[in-house]
Amino acid sequence: MRAASDLCHALLPCAGSGSRAAGTGPKQYVHIAGQAVVAHTLAALAAVPRLVSTLVVLAPDDAVFEEAVPATRRQRVAAARCGGATRAESVVNGLGALLAQGAAADDWVLVHDAARCLVRPEWIDRLIDACLDDPVGGLLALPVADTLKTEARGRATHTLDRRGLWQAQTPQMFRIGPLRSALAAAGPDTTDESGAMEAAGHAPRLVPGAPENLKLTWPADFALAERLLRSR
């Protein structure tokens, strides 16, 4: 019997419009600390030697990526203009593109949000170390520290028990074939890869991440990321 693959690929869904960021265009192309958000993300991935390839999934009509990301940041990076209407669709299409480019169904893929530009190579390595021998895979995540409330019409209605709650981050690391099947079964509105794997009956490993690994979503996030990047 052939041993399971330990090859790792990175996949960045990068086809979103970034509407919540209230900018003039997709948030992955907003410039902070001198570069586009996605360029910072690609720099971190490039510093992880165990990632044998990186695929960026773009919108079919994307005409910005090559201009926004310097050639030095696109070495060993492939772009596929096969993004879908939702994140899940973009990831499914990207997994198909990885397979078409020669990746195997039992290779690992680390799906990472293009807008998590503060990710550090050592956090990615921590995830790989934790998951390479895991039968399912896993994700970076943080135990929830804040008190959580439900809301109706702008008012708190209930306080949730935060025990056992974790905040999902990325990368999320699973084998290409099982992840592709799980996402296809879960449907296009699935918000992360772990959720699709959970729906398929798997229990992904939770690997401690870092508070700094935030996803740029709201306008204030960009100013915070700028300060953090310039302080490094």
**Domains of the chain, first to last:** 8-231 (3.90.550.10)
Digitized pLDDT (tens) for each residue of the chain, 232 residues in all: 457 899 999 999 999 775 544 455 799 999 999 999 999 999 999 999 999 999 999 999 999 999 999 887 788 899 999 999 999 999 999 999 999 999 999 999 999 999 999 999 999 999 999 999 999 999 999 999 999 999 999 999 999 999 999 999 999 999 999 999 999 999 999 999 999 999 999 999 999 999 999 999 999 999 999 999 999 8
pTM here is: 0.94
- Chain centroid to CA 98: 16
pLDDT given at position 2: 59
pLDDT given at position 76: 85
Question: Considering only CA atoms, which of 178, 102, 168 is closest in space to residue 137?
Answer: 178
Contact between 26 and 65 under an 8 Å Cβ cutoff? The reply is no
pLDDT given at position 24: 58
pLDDT given at position 16: 79
pLDDT given at position 4: 81
pLDDT given at position 201: 98
3-state secondary structure of 52: strand
Secondary structure E strands in 76-204: 77-80, 108-111, 137-143, 148-152, 155-160, 166-175
Handedness of CA 78, 23, 140, 164 (dihedral sign): negative
